[in-house]
Amino acid sequence: MDQELVTLLRSSDRDTAAKGAEMLASFLSSASFPSKSVQALREVLPAQQLQRIFSALSQRLVKENDESEISKALNALLHLLQSEEVRDTVLSVGDASLVELCKDLISGLSKAVRLPSSSVGMTAVAVFGCVCQSEKARQLLLQHSDTEPIFERIPPLLSDLPEHSSIPLSVAYLTRYPSAQRRVLAW
C-alpha cells in the first residue's frame, strides 16, 4: 500500500480525505489483486477513516459527471464493500449515522444506474447489493423511496445483457428478498 495514499486517507481534513479517496479509486482500478489491497487498507485504517473514505467515494458519485470517474468510484466502493470485514466496519454505526452515511450513496447510485453504460449501471447495482448484505443497511435501503431508480433500472440492465448470460450475482442476491422482488417486478 502506497504510503502517500495511506497518509491522505488518514487525514481528518475532508478535502484531503476526498483526494485520498480519489487516489484510492485509481489505485484499486489498476491493482492486480484489489482484494489484497483492501485487506491491507483495513489493517492500517480504523473504522472512522474507512467510513470517511466510503462517504468521500459516495460524494464523488454525486458530484462527478465524467462516466470514467464515476466508474472508478463505483469500482473502489465495490472492492471495499466486497470485503465482509470492511463492509461490517463501515456500516456498523447507529441508525441516524447509517442514514447519513448512505444518503450520498443512494443519490450517487441512482445517478449511476441512469447512465447509458450498462456496465456502470450493473456495477452500481452490485455496490447496492453489497451494501444490502448488511442486515441493518438492507432494512433501511429496501424501504427507502430514493432507491426506486435503482430497482427501476434492473430489468432494462438485465435485458442489455448478451443472450444466454447468467443473471449477475448482485441482482440474484438482491431479488431474494420479497420487498426487493416486488419492487423489481413492478417495473
Q: By C-alpha distance, which of 20, 25, 33 is closest to 74?
A: 25
Handedness of CA 88, 89, 91, 96 (dihedral sign): positive
User: Helix, strand or coil for residue 114?
Assistant: coil
Q: What is the C-alpha to C-alpha distance for residues 185 and 152, in angstroms, rounded to an integer? A: 9
The number of domains in the chain is 1
Nearest to residue 59, comparing CAs of 121, 17, 120?
17
- Whether 139 shows a pLDDT value over 90: the answer reads no
Cβ atoms of 95 and 47 within 8 Å: the answer is no
Per-residue pLDDT tens for 62-117?
A: 999 999 999 989 998 998 888 888 888 889 888 888 888 889 999 999 999 999 99
What pLDDT score was predicted for residue 158? Answer: 83
Mean pLDDT, rounded, for 136-153 = 85
Distance CA 173, CA 3 (A): 36
> 164 pLDDT band (50/70/90 cuts)?
low
Give which of 118, 95, 103, 135 is closest to 171, Cα–Cα. 118
pLDDT of residue 50: 85
| Residue 93 structural domain | 3-185
CATH number of domain containing 157: 1.25.10.10
Kindly report the pTM of this predicted structure. Answer: 0.83
Average pLDDT over residues 44-54: 84
Least confident of 16-25, 41-50, 98-107: 16-25
Summary mean pLDDT of the chain: 83
